[in-house]
Amino acid sequence: MPAQALSAEFMATLPCREPASGAVSYFDTEIKGFLLEHRASGGMTYYFRYRDASAKVRMHRVGRADEVSLADARAKAHKMRQMVAEGGDPKLESHRFRDVPSFGTFVAERYLPYAKTRKRSWKTDEIMLRNHLLPVFAELRMNRVTRSDVVAFHHAVKEKGYAAGTCNRMLVLMRFIYNCAIRWDILPTTGNPCVGVEPFEDNGARERYLSQEEVGRLFDELDTNRNVQVGQVIRLLLYTGARKREVLDARWDEIDFNRRLLTVPAARSKSKKPRYIPLSDAAIELLRSLPRREDIPWVFFNPRTKKPPVSIFCAWDSIRKKVGLAEVRLHDLRHSYASFLVNAGRSLYEVQKLLGHYDPKVTMRYAHLSPGALLEAVNVVGELVGRRAGVVKCGVRVVVVA
């Protein structure tokens, strides 16, 4: 194992010094433990050799000579030597010595391909990245982005006039992307610059609930509106409390009229598990009235493409404005379905199951809608066990049996 000052001049002479067999290791005279392994095949690889906390000799691969320059290899070896001197172990913290990609490269090569296979909302991520995050962070290496950079970005988009909720969604997306990099060992566990960045208070978040009178106006318009299919979709959304795509992408083979269920397969379900939507009499009647074609499996379809509608926003926008409900979103039909259930005295547990909420905390947003129903619930125990009123007067307890 000869000692050798590793230099560009020396590296240039190595092709003429290939060992007859095996490999020769050249130990650098400048940085202790830094070495170059030269194999009989002609291949050359940089390593760093050290002793760990238990005095065991370890070899950590720095990189192949045709992939890593001598200067970069020496710089990494120097960092590893410092780590060992401080009691660290380069093998256990190898992510510190990888070439960390830029934010833009990581998004293009790792995150978006992953999101396309795992997230139904990947297109939304792609748009938000393209319009907001990448113009600011694309050229920065991921480990160079600091918390102050993220805070500055978060406040900058707010100052441009974006709603607090929109700004917070950008922060959530960036945090998730960094967590992916950590999970895939590209960054250390402490490498997420979004940790500790406080989201803006979102006072604009709201749920809009339709009244029975508003539903009556809406249905009156649907009775005469020329876009019959959109009217049928709107009615079914309100009858079932389903999400928009759960209805638009429904297939006839997913509807069981005998069991009165619409099954949303795991591949399309938000929870990634099959979801079963009970169908009311009104929903069953509507579904039975719909036209069917043997060559088209979809419940709702575009006659030209023979596929589910991509969007019904334009038609819905026209309808809602005609009846004075311009601020009502399609998703508010789902909120209205929940509000009608709660106000009719149905339990939050029932609402949770009907809406397909995985977390009961999500359903709790409807708890305030029917305080009367909740008061009836708390009186149940008193009715069951009997009421006794105890009055303390002048030190004497008087019991009044109700």
Q: Does residue 217 belong to any structural domain of this protein?
A: yes
pLDDT score for 246: 94
Q: Which of 77, 97, 117 is the last residue of a domain?
A: 97
Q: What local confidence, expressed as pLDDT, does residue 98 receive?
A: 61
My answer on whether 258 and 337 are in the same domain is: yes
Residues 345 and 225 in one domain: yes
Within 10 angstroms of residue 277's Cβ, the number of other Cβ atoms is: 24
Q: Is 363 inside a domain boundary?
A: yes
Query: Looking at the structure, do residues 111 and 130 belong to the same domain, yes or no?
Result: yes
Residues 240 and 306 in one domain: yes
pLDDT value of residue 391: 52
Residue 145 lies in a domain: yes
Tens-of-pLDDT digits for all 402 residues of the chain?
A: 688 889 888 888 888 888 888 899 999 998 999 999 999 888 999 999 999 888 899 898 888 888 888 888 888 888 889 888 888 888 777 655 566 789 999 999 999 999 998 887 788 999 999 999 999 999 998 988 999 999 999 999 999 999 888 999 999 999 999 999 988 878 878 889 999 999 998 765 567 899 999 999 999 999 999 999 999 999 999 999 999 999 999 999 999 999 999 999 988 888 778 999 999 999 999 999 999 999 999 999 999 999 999 999 999 999 999 999 999 999 999 999 999 998 888 888 898 999 988 878 878 878 777 666 666 767 777 777 765 555 555 555 555 544
Domain end among 76, 97, 118: 97
Do the bridges between strand 44-51 and strand 34-39 make them parallel or antiparallel, or are there none, so unpaired? antiparallel
Question: Are 342 and 219 within one domain?
Answer: yes
Strand extents, DSSP E, 43-141 = 44-51, 57-64
Instruction: Indicate if 79 and 160 belong to the same structural domain.
Output: no
* pLDDT of 395: 55
Same-domain status, 93 and 116? no
Structural domains counted in the chain: 3
Domain assignment present for 206:
no
Same domain, 92 and 108: no
The residues, ordered by sequence, that sit 6+ positions from 64 with a Cβ below 8 Å of its Cβ are: 43, 44, 45, 46
Q: Which long-range contacts (CB under 8 A, 24 or more apart) does 248-257 make?
A: 248/300, 248/308, 248/309, 248/312, 249/298, 249/308, 250/298, 250/299, 250/300, 251/297, 251/298, 251/299, 252/292, 252/297, 252/298, 252/299, 253/297, 255/279, 255/287, 255/299, 257/284, 257/287, 257/288
Instruction: Answer yes or no: do 85 and 174 share one domain.
Output: no
Written as one string, the DSSP assignment of 143-167 is: GG--HHHHHHHHHHHHHTT--HHHH
Last residue of a domain, one of 43, 66, 97: 97
In a domain, 139, yes or no: yes
The answer as to whether 394 is a domain residue is no
Specify the pLDDT at position 285: 96
Task: Based on the fold, state whether residues 32 and 47 are members of the same structural domain.
Answer: yes
Residues 350 and 366 in one domain: yes
Residue 60 to residue 24: CA distance in whole angstroms: 17
Does 195 map to a domain? no
> Which pair of structure tokens corresponds to residue 170?
């950008």
CATH code, domain carrying 55: 3.30.160.390
Per-residue confidence (pLDDT) for residue 379, from 0 to 100: 76
For the chain, the residue count is 402
Range of the domain at 113: 103-183
Return the CATH number at 272: 1.10.443.10
Instruction: Give me the pLDDT at residue 221, please.
Output: 96
Q: Give CA angle at 123 (117, 128), nearest 5°.
A: 125
Same domain, 110 and 93: no
| Domain contains 135 | yes
- In this structure, are residues 46 and 66 in contact, taking their beta carbons and an 8 Å threshold? no
Phi, psi of 368 (to 5 degrees): -80, -10
